[in-house]
Amino acid sequence: MFYLEKLNSFIENKYAMSNWNKKKYIWRYSVFFNIFYVLLIFCIIYTLVIKILVSQEKYSNHSCNIANMASIQNMYVIVLIFISLMGSLNFIFSRLTYIYSKFTNSEFFNLGIYYSIIGFLIKYISWILSLIYISWVAFLLITILTIIFYPNKWCGRKYNSYGMDAMNNCLLVKNDVAGCEISSEVLNIKSKEYCNDLDYLKVHKFLYLVRSSPNALCTLRDKQLCNTFVDFLKNNPIEADDFPNCSKYSGDAPDDYFLENANNKSDIYLLSLSLTFFCFFTTIILFTLFILIRVNTPIDSSFKINSERLSIFFRFTRIFDVWK
């Protein structure tokens, strides 16, 4: 009886080792996708931090119209959608490949319909991921090119001290903390993003509210100045001296008078640039690791697909398919 038990144990160990030799390559992919979705979690956290920083007035020194600012916010949302989608699918795929590597094919056959479901998911989730990866890389490349060659679309221009005076006075009105009451009938600022629009500041005469000298203070927190500005908005007659410490001619100055030179970029531009390159280099590292694993890992025969039967579209979108 003792010898029979030893024989059974020996057979089981040999069978388990044989199964491990067959499935260890699947386990490699499981580890890779675990690493992938963990790094994607860091990308999500980094994106959320950037999004929060951009929404704060402390980092609001850019001159940009509403449409461009909305497109930047949409870019952050798209990044979050891409990363969340890749992260969730990588997590599912890592769990499925880990389960598959732990059991023999005969054990899976006994699962019946569940065997077919798990096999189908393992076989085709990798193709879905490949399609998402291609879209993600294309999105990153387009984003990088537009940031570098079209910085104005990414709010690249930055206000100097004069432009910041006009913007800050606009924010005082928007936040209802000016030195006097300014009714919405006189001036209705719908959102703080309007205060970053130089054309909006020009139309609503905020460009007159800039310091006359580097050490002067021209702010609507001053009650007298605030009341004078309200009269100015109502087109009531006022004297030039009614704007103490403020420039009398800045309202007619060219746009460059309120902006830093083109090489001095705004905070929102630099934050967006850092986010894009962070995602790009993280993607390069992950895909390099992916290629190394795929080159040195045989494909499980259970998941091989006859590429000759596929259309050109499916062949192309399988570039990052682990079963290619």
Specify the long-range contacts of residues 17-24, CB closer than 8 Å, at least 24 apart. Answer: 19/103, 19/104, 22/300, 23/100, 23/101, 23/102, 23/300, 24/101
Q: What is the pLDDT along the chain (324 residues), one digit of tens a residue?
A: 443 344 334 334 433 444 445 555 666 667 777 787 788 888 889 989 998 888 888 888 999 999 999 999 999 999 999 998 988 888 887 777 777 666 666 666 666 666 677 777 777 788 888 888 899 999 999 999 999 999 999 999 999 999 999 999 999 999 999 988 888 888 989 888 999 999 999 999 999 999 988 888 899 999 988 998 998 888 887 776 667 788 877 778 899 999 999 899 999 999 999 999 999 998 898 888 888 877 776 666 555 665 566 566 666 666 766 666
- For residue 62, the cross-strand partners are 158
Query: In Å, what is the CA distance from 273 to each residue of 39, 86, 260, 268, 299?
Result: 19, 21, 19, 8, 38
Length of the chain in residues, anyone? Answer: 324
Domain ranges of the chain: 23-156+265-316, 161-258
Give the distance from CA 232 to its chain's centroid: 42
Tally Cβ neighbours within 10 Å of residue 18.
Answer: 11
pLDDT of residue 324: 64
Q: Distance between CA atoms of 146 and 141, rounded to whole angstroms?
A: 9
Taking the model in full, what pTM does it have?
A: 0.80
- For residue 211, the cross-strand partners are 246
